[in-house]
C-alpha cells in the first residue's frame, strides 16, 4: 500500500524537482565519457606505505597522551565500525559475506590494553552497544552454574559433537576428536544485550512478518561483529554466541538473557522483555576476558502473568 501511494518521498516545499538528467551542476552529456578510475591514484606504493606508517604513529601518540577523541576507547570504537564496514564485500553475484578484524592489535602496536573497573567497563560497553544499535545491556559472570545452561553437545545432524570448557588461551574446534567448540575458562564474563525486532513480526507469520524476523537476526550479526572488534581494539578477546559448528556457540540465548536480568522466562519459551515483550529477536551475548559487572535477574511480574494469560496455548 505504501509503495502504491507515493512514487517517492514527499519533499519539503522549498525543494523543487528538475528534469531527468538535469541536476543543478551542469553536465554536458555529449562530452561525458566513462572515467578511468586508475587516474585517481595519486601515491606510489612507497608513498602510501609511508602515509600508513605516519598515521599509525599518530594513533599510538594519541593513545599514549590520552588525547580527547584519540584515546584507546575512541580508536577501538572507530576500528569496530570502520573495519567491519570495510569487510562487507558484496560479490558480483550471490550473498555478501560479513567479516571483521582490526588491522592491528594493541599488542602489535605496542599499546597497553584498556584497564578499568568492572562497573566502568560495563558502562563503556553499554555506550558502545547503543551506538552499534543494540538496546538494553547487562553483564553476567560465568560460573559453574552458568555452564549448566550451555549445550552438552550438538544434535545428530552434526554428529553429536561436544561443547566443553577448558583452561586454554583461545577457543578452538576439533571435529576429528568429537569437539564442536572449546570455550576458554578465562572468558569469565558474558556481555548480554537485547535486540528488538520490527513490530511487523507480531502482525503476521507470512512473508511480511518473517522479514522482520530475518532482519532481526541480520542486525544481531552486525552488532555482534562490531562488539567483538571493539573488544579486540581494547586489547581483549571474545567469542560469539554464533561460534562453532551449527552457529550456536554452545550457549542458550534465553538462559543468559534471564540470568543477566534482561528478560524473564515466558510460557511461550521465549525470553520476554519488560520493554519489548516477546518481540525480541534474541537476548544475544558475547563471552570475553574483559571484566564487567554481574547483574541480577529481574522480576517484572511477567512470568506470574503467564500463569493466567495462556494466550500462547
Q: Which percentage of the chain shows pLDDT scores above 90?
A: 28
C-alpha cell at 259: 540470568
Rounded CA gap, 249 and 260, in Å? 18
Average pLDDT over residues 25-44: 82
Q: ∠ CA 74-284-224 to the nearest 5 degrees? A: 35
Between 189 and 245, whose confidence is greater? 189
Rounded CA gap, 114 and 112, in Å? 7
Q: Are 196 and 54 in contact (CB under 8 A)?
A: no
Split at pLDDT 50, 70, 90, the class of 6 is: very low
The pLDDT tens digits of the residues spanning 52-96 come to: 888 888 888 888 888 888 888 888 888 777 765 545 544 444 444
C-alpha cell at 174: 576439533
DSSP 153-170: B--GGGTTPEEEEES-SS
Look up the pTM and report it. 0.79
Burial 166-196, CB ≥16 within 10 A → b, else e: eeeeebeeeeeeebbbbbbeebbbbbbbbbb
Which residues are 139's β-sheet partners? Answer: 191
Amino acid at each position: 500500500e505504501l509503495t502504491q501511494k507515493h512514487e517517492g518521498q514527499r519533499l519539503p516545499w522549498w525543494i523543487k524537482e528538475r528534469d531527468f538528467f538535469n541536476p543543478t551542476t551542469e553536465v554536458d552529456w555529449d562530452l561525458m565519457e566513462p572515467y578511468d578510475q586508475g587516474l585517481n591514484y595519486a601515491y606510489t606504493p612507497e608513498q602510501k606505505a609511508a602515509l600508513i606508517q605516519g598515521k599509525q604513529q599518530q594513533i599510538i601518540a594519541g593513545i599514549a597522551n590520552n588525547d580527547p577523541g584519540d584515546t584507546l576507547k575512541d580508536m577501538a570504537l572507530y576500528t569496530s565500525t570502520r573495519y567491519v564496514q570495510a569487510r562487507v564485500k558484496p560479490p558480483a553475484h550471490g550473498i555478501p559475506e560479513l567479516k571483521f578484524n582490526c588491522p592491528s592489535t594493541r599488542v602489535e602496536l605496542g599499546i597497553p590494553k584498556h584497564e578499568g573497573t568492572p562497573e566502568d567497563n560495563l558502562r563503556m560497553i553499554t555506550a558502545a552497544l547503543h551506538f552499534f544499535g543494540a538496546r538494553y545491556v547487562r553483564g553476567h559472570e560465568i560460573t559453574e552454574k552458568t555452564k549448566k545452561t550451555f549445550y552438552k553437545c550438538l544434535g545428530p545432524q552434526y554428529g553429536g559433537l561436544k561443547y566443553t570448557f577448558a583452561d586454554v588461551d583461545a577457543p578452538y574446534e576439533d571435529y576429528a576428536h568429537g569437539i564442536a567448540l572449546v570455550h576458554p575458562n578465562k572468558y569469565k564474563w558474558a556481555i548480554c544485550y537485547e535486540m528488538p525486532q520490527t513490530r511487523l513480526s507480531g502482525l503476521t507469520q507470512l512473508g511480511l512478518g518473517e522479514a522482520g524476523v530475518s532482519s532481526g537476526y541480520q542486525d544481531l550479526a552486525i552488532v555482534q561483529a562490531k562488539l567483538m572488534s571493539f573488544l579486540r581494539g581494547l586489547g581483549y578477546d571474545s567469542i560469539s554466541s554464533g561460534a562453532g559448528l551449527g552457529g550456536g556457540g554452545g550457549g542458550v540465548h534465553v538462559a543468559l538473557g534471564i540470568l543477566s536480568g534482561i528478560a524473564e522466562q515466558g510460557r511461550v519459551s521465549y525470553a520476554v522483555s519488560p520493554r519489548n515483550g516477546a518481540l525480541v529477536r534474541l537476548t544475544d551475548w558475547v563471552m570475553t576476558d574483559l571484566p564487567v559487572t554481574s547483574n541480577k535477574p529481574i522480576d517484572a511480574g511477567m512470568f506470574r502473568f503467564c500463569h493466567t494469560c495462556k494466550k500462547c496455548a
